[in-house]
Chains A and B, each alone.
Chain A
């Protein structure tokens, strides 16, 4: 079947099989930032935004996103100008291998676009589904806390 979707602002028409998962369709179409760490909705590496909401693309049927808008990490920042989330993570040395980064950055983007400004404990809880095995999480939480602080000041 054909689905019509918007990926990172660009309209796409893709033929997908019933039963095909969003993660596989995205990766097959070149959106390689979307990572498969478990395939069972347990690790968060495949997080993308679906109409602004963070979803685990390994657990979403591609056919079900017809007519919707998807954001992946490919849509964020440029060589000249990193997205503020990317810059904050860079400044905080928040990653080692970087495999979990795409999912965590997209999940963070959803948090920052929500109305409320979250405390550090709330950030930890909200992002507990995005696992990282390399770091002690601390620098990631600090980076996101800093972004929350900027958001508060911006208000």
Chain B
């Protein structure tokens, strides 16, 4: 095994995505493709009120419909408080949810479950179920949630871990380094500014869906579109009062997730219906349910105060985040902490820094995990504030951001103080090519020339252009929390089964994990048969979130490969009747260095199976990060504004990323490009909106637009050469970071074009148009 990137044979190459051929031929590989026609249909009866208590339920009419099998309500299940958040145990989210409740906390909340023999009967039963509600006043504005007159979203007695239920505060966190007030007071330049990040939605094209059945041994089997099969098994075990050994969770191919599938949502309802009926059941959310009943981004108001010197050096940063978790506290604390912990260390030259956050309940759909996980919200305000500082000082914002940002070998005390829902771990940026990202991006984009060429004074009668930049960081898994494992099993044709709990949700992690195994064993990637994930078959892995798979699961694969190699050497020494030191593994063969005799892996493994030295070469490796290596990124964006309409159009986006070794550059590039598009959608028009009674008004792909292929200009994703010494073959994460910058880069570019600073996303053309009218 080599650490020299120039000698890598398999990693660093654009190897074909291992699942690509099946996907391109439309093979039945997604959860819904496994649904048998005769499985019972489960549907949710949704609350029509944002805040209400169920007073009475009359099932008789609905149960009388032919084909209706059962109806389940809060009266049919025990109250077991839990969190749907698919996080490590114990979860840092409040236990404020029960599977079926008598209190409704948003329009669309689950009032009951209908189980029927077919879709039509299920739909009729949903309509026919009579529920009397005692309607309560809702709280819909998260900035008013903490007020003493606000109605209480969680007044139940049995929830655990809510920070302050009497003020609708799900979670709270604060930390400070240095005397922040004093540092602000004696800084000659002070900036205070607030930004609003909207309640956007992940919009994975595959809706959430689950198929559940009892296997012949009466074990509950769940096939589900989930990012977290092992957490799903653990949480289902708790809420269904069924031992984990009686539950099997299988993740087939996933039609992407972006965090929305890091919650136990459809799984709980389908599993309950399956246990109650003993029959196979299927549950598919429609698009509206995916919008409303899964997860959204936590919308936030983030306030940043900066104290700086006249030369642009930042002395102190003070950040406050007010976060809206909606009806339940899934991921509430952790997302808000990332808002600070994965943005503030980027500017590590400060003498003081403070981060305070309140995460509040409202009677709106549940927020949860979404790619970036708080960092996009924090960065919107932090980078925006630095851009405002540069404007105040009449300096190039790129220069201000560059001189204050972290470099290789440096650290920040924040790493140790802030983790996710708990303390962090101390770490230094062992690999950090942020400076190179800035330089490459600046030149590729032609930053300085464009900054001079555009701006309000250079507008035409119809358009004006501007440029903006932003820097970002993320992590690679949660240090000392996220654990992954992998099993490598040798076959008698020289192939290896690679069994991983890591959940490829479309990102290509099965492919890069295969590449890591192949590189470590020095065999072609085609010799690796990867399988993910099945709690009965694959070893434990926390799942796909927190940018963990490449680094944490990748290191687990590397560990397994090293152990397998050692086993091969030992077994070969036995076969060749020599010492282990005399054996070499090379090019898919074992070689006896004393006499030069070689056996191919196929011959060797056949001997292991049928020869004298009977054994299965099979090893499991595990890994937990001691650190969470940081990927870095610099983004440059050019936009054009139509002065007649106020419409903002991205012309070009250049992002340069330091993700360590890009194990599969084509896949890595795809991550950055896709994340850029998602962020541009949020910047321009993605936001779930609600009526004044809390009814969703745009929960469809007709009214909630995501970017199609026409309207975002050119996107370029580049990589700075980098090597993370603790990563598998030098790799760090790349999946989330791309979503952090484009939002704020766009606002910065609009400022450069117009001199107008907008503080709220999405930035609709009407807002720009009205502001321009005032300006002119």
Listed in ascending order, the chain A residues whose CB lies under 8 Å from chain B are: 27-28, 32-33, 35-40, 42-43, 45, 72-74, 76-77, 79, 82, 86, 89-90, 93, 95-102, 105, 124-125, 127-141
Query: Is A133 touching B256 in the complex (CB atoms < 8 A)?
Result: yes
How long is the Cα–Cα vector from A129 to B507 in the complex, in angstroms? Answer: 23
The reply to whether B677 and A99 contact each other, CB–CB distance below 8 Å, is no
A125 to chain B: closest residue by CB: B710
A105 touching B24 in the complex, CB below 8 Å, given contacts A37-B206, A93-B17: yes
Closest 8 CB pairs of A and B: A97-B506, A33-B26, A136-B673, A98-B23, A99-B255, A73-B26, A42-B701, A32-B28
Tell whether, in the assembled complex, residue B677 and residue A90 are in contact, meaning their CB atoms are under 8 Å apart: no
**Cα(A124)–Cα(B713), bound, Å:** 11
Pairwise interchain contact B708-A129, C-beta atoms closer than 8 A:
yes
Q: Is the CB of A95 within 8 A of B702?
A: no
Q: Of A42, A77, A129, A136, which contacts B670 at CB under 8 A? A: A136
**Interchain CB contact under 8 A, B253 and A96:** no
How far apart are A120's CB and chain B's nearest CB, in angstroms?
A: 10
**Cα separation A138 to B17 with both chains bound (whole Å):** 17
Q: Is the CB of B295 closer than 8 A to any CB of chain A?
A: no
> Given A128-B710, A138-B673, A139-B670, is A74 in contact with B26 using a C-beta cutoff of 8 Å?
yes
Whether B20 pairs with A95 at a CB distance below 8 angstroms is: yes
Question: Contact residues of B with A, CB < 8 Å?
Answer: 14, 16-17, 19-21, 23-28, 30, 32-33, 37, 203-207, 253-256, 258, 286-287, 505-508, 666-667, 670, 673-674, 676-678, 700-702, 706, 708-710, 715, 717
A106→B489 CA distance, assembly (Å): 39
Report yes or no: A98 in contact with B710, Cβ–Cβ below 8 A: no
* Assembled-state Cα–Cα distance A69/B624 (Å): 55
Q: Does B21 contact A99, Cβ atoms closer than 8 Å?
A: no
Residues of B within 8 A of A37 (CB): 205-207, 255, 287, 701
The answer on a CB contact under 8 Å between A135 and B673 is yes
Which residue on chain A has the smallest CB distance to residue B672? A136
Instruction: Name the residue of chain B whose CB is nearest to the CB of A24.
Output: B119
B715 touching A136, Cβ below 8 Å:
yes
Which of B17, B204, B701, B709 has the most chain A CB atoms closer than 10 A to its own CB? Answer: B709
Q: A38-B700, A77-B24, A134-B256 are in contact. List 7 more A-B contacts (CB 8 A).
A: A42-B700, A89-B24, A96-B506, A99-B205, A128-B708, A136-B670, A136-B717
Q: Using Cβ atoms and an 8 Å threshold, which residues of chain B touch A27?
A: 32
Residues of A within 8 A of B254 (CB): 97
Bound-state Cα–Cα, A86 to B717, Å: 24
- Shortest CB-to-CB span from A54 to chain B, Å, is 15
Are A101 and B715 neighbours in the complex by a CB distance under 8 Å?
no
A98 adjacent to B702 (CB under 8 Å): no
Which residues in B have their C-beta under 8 angstroms from that of A73?
Answer: 25-26
Which residues of the other chain, A, contact B286 by a CB distance below 8 angstroms? Answer: 39
| Cα distance, A105 to B23, chains bound together (Å) | 11
Nearest-Cβ distance from residue B274 to partner chain A, whole angstroms: 21
Q: How far is the CB of A100 from chain B (nearest CB, A)?
A: 5
Question: What is the bound-complex CA distance between A28 and B678, given in angstroms?
Answer: 33
Q: Are A38 and B709 in contact (CB under 8 A)?
A: no
CB closest residue in chain B, given A30: B28
Cβ of B670 and Cβ of A134 under 8 Å apart?
Answer: yes
* B residues in contact with A95, CB < 8 Å: 17, 20, 23-24
Report A-chain residues with C-beta under 8 Å of the C-beta of B700: 38, 40, 42
Do the beta carbons of A42 and B702 come within 8 Å of each other? yes
Residues of A within 8 A of B25 (CB): 33, 73-74, 76-77, 79, 82, 86
Distance A136 CA – B21 CA, assembled complex (angstroms): 20
Cβ–Cβ contact B701 & A133, under 8 A: no
Pairs A–B under 8 Å by Cβ, sample size 28: A32-B32, A33-B27, A35-B30, A35-B206, A37-B701, A45-B205, A74-B26, A77-B25, A79-B25, A82-B24, A86-B21, A90-B24, A95-B17, A95-B20, A95-B23, A96-B667, A97-B23, A97-B253, A98-B23, A99-B205, A101-B23, A101-B26, A128-B710, A134-B256, A135-B670, A136-B677, A137-B709, A139-B670
Residues of B within 8 A of A33 (CB): 25-28
Residues of B near A35 (CB, < 8 A) are 30, 205-206, 255
Nearest CB in chain A: distance from B21 CB, A? 7
Instruction: Determine if B255 and A127 form an interchain contact, defined as CB atoms under 8 angstroms apart.
Output: no
CA–CA, A28 to B506, complex, Å?
25
CB distance from A57 to the nearest CB of B (A): 13
Q: What chain A residues lie within 8 Å of B506 (beta carbons)? A: 96-99, 134
| Distance in Å: Cβ of A95 to nearest Cβ of chain B | 6
Supposing A73-B25, A101-B24 touch, asked if A40 and B14 sit within 8 A by C-beta, the answer is no
Residues of A within 8 A of B14 (CB): 93
Q: Which residues of B contact A40 (CB under 8 A)?
A: 287, 700-702
**Chain B contacts of A42 at CB under 8 A?**
287, 700-702
Which residue on chain A has the smallest CB distance to residue B507?
A96
CA distance A72 to B27 in the complex (A): 12
- Cα separation A74 to B29 with both chains bound (whole Å): 13
Report chain B residues within 8 Å CB of A130. Answer: 709
Bound CA span A65–B706, Å = 31
Report the bound CA distance from A139 to B17 in whole Å: 14
CB nearest to B675 among chain A residues: A136
Residue of A nearest to B676 (CB): A136
Given the interface pairs A42-B702, A73-B26, A99-B205, the reply to whether A138 lies near B507 with Cβ below 8 Å is: no
